[in-house]
Amino acid sequence: MRAPIQSFAMALGSAAPVDTWRVDLAVPIDAAEAVSELLGDLGSVSMFGVDQDADLQVSVVCPEEPDRGDIGVRLAVIADAFDMAEPPFTVERVEGRDWIAETKNAFPPVEIGRFFIHGSHVERRPPPSSIGLHVDAATAFGSGEHPTTEGCLRAIEALAKRRHIHNTLDMGCGSGILAIAAAKCWATPVLAADNDGRSVQVAAENAGLNRVAHLMSAARSEGYRNPVIRRRAPYDLILANILARPLTLLARDAAGVLAPGGILVLSGLMTHQEAMVLAAHRYQGLHLIERRVIGVWSTLVLHKRADYGS
């Protein structure tokens, strides 16, 4: 089954059809993160993979015609860094389409455990026993369709059955879907943080749509640097659905604001990246208690010993 790393319509300021450009290439899974970082400023990056042994298909939707020479230079850097052949790529003009309308039509309701995820365009009401999550596609990353989001939501649902959470941090919140899920499960304070200002704005708007604005606040932060994160610590639950490299680099900061006995849910990483991520967190006194795998994607649930640091 194909799985997009990021799939959202670009906000072009108008619903009117606008021509775009698409760059297509294939890269080994190991180079996927570097490709996303080096090509991300060109437009919206999507990656599709079938299994861990196959290359990922990469598409970048650009609002303007990209410089082919510039793309070649970037890919040459990646090829050198990963000791591989420079991947060939194509650039194609895409006839103007109403991306916002098409995206809405492409996102029917998603049911993940008790969570019923839907956009404004969905007329069907959530089942009586479900937890409704109102999140529109095409606003910020996190509309429920990706395996990493699913893994986190299933981890939240499982956690809600066995313990109460008093204070939650959603690091790299995107649309705020995980923060909203936590707020609805435990009806306790949640702080959503992201380094992208638009995501912070969208997360706050979605909190209002889901009637949890009284529980959930959103703040812009590069990692854990915003002072508000430390002021509101310690957290007995931290959700971090980002990428393997930043998860590894932020392990110490995460452990520093996680309460003794607290839970850290990590996602956005592939199965072959688990060892690296786990090693960094194990060094900070956290150990693995649950692992969820969907396709090539992993969600890890870690626990901080109650006596750690005492």
CATH number of the domain where residue 300 is located: 3.40.50.150
Percent of the chain at pLDDT > 90 equals 60
Q: Domain boundary at 49, 84, 101, which? A: 101
Is 66 domain-assigned?
yes
Judged by average pLDDT, the poorest of 48-62, 96-110, 181-195, 270-284 is 96-110
pLDDT at position 136, please?
Answer: 77
Domain, as residue range, for 238: 141-304
Contact 179, 170 (CB under 8 A): yes
38-42, 172-176, 261-265, range with greatest mean pLDDT: 261-265
Same domain, 97 and 148: no
Q: What is the pLDDT of residues 88-105, one digit of tens each?
A: 999 999 887 665 566 556
Total domain count for the chain?
2
DSSP code, position 308: T
What is the distance between the terminal CA atoms of the chain, rounded to a whole angstrom? Answer: 46
pLDDT greater at residue 223 or residue 145 = 223
DSSP code, position 57: E
Q: What average pLDDT does this structure show over 154-167?
A: 96
Residue for token pair 């649950």: 290
The yes-or-no verdict on residue 236 having pLDDT over 90 is yes
Q: Domain boundary at 101, 132, 165, which? A: 101
pLDDT at position 280, please?
Answer: 97
How would residue 13 be classed by pLDDT, with cut points 50, 70 and 90?
very low
Is 200 domain-assigned?
yes
50-72 b/e (C-beta count within 10 Å ≥ 16 → b): eeeeeebebbbbbbeebeeeebe
pTM: 0.72
The yes-or-no verdict on residue 63 having pLDDT over 70 is yes
CATH number of the domain where residue 42 is located: 3.30.70.120
Same domain, 281 and 147: yes
Is 229 domain-assigned?
yes
Is 133 domain-assigned?
no
pLDDT at position 45, please?
Answer: 80
Same domain, 89 and 156: no
Is 128 domain-assigned?
no
Q: What average pLDDT does this structure show over 18-29?
A: 88
Q: Domain boundary at 74, 101, 128, which? A: 101
Q: What average pLDDT does this structure show over 257-261?
A: 97
Same domain, 31 and 90: yes
Is 131 domain-assigned?
no
DSSP string, 90-145: EEEEEEEE-HHHHHHHH---EEETTEEEE-TT--SPPPTTSEEEE--TTSSS-SS-
Same domain, 82 and 155: no
Same domain, 97 and 145: no
pLDDT at position 8, please?
Answer: 36
Find the Cα–Cα–Cα–Cα dihedral 79, 85, 91, 97, rounded to 10°.
-70
Same domain, 146 and 206: yes
Which pair of tokens denotes residue 243? 């990428």
Same domain, 91 and 152: no
pLDDT at position 305, please?
Answer: 84
Q: What is the pLDDT of residues 120-146, one digit of tens each?
A: 766 667 778 899 898 876 544 555 568
Is 250 domain-assigned?
yes
How would residue 209 be classed by pLDDT, with cut points 50, 70 and 90?
very high
Same domain, 91 and 173: no
β-strand pairing of 18-27 with 56-62:
antiparallel
How would residue 43 be classed by pLDDT, with cut points 50, 70 and 90?
confident
Q: What average pLDDT does this structure show over 41-46?
A: 82
Same domain, 247 and 168: yes
Same domain, 62 and 154: no
Same domain, 170 and 287: yes
Q: What average pLDDT does this structure show over 272-279?
A: 95
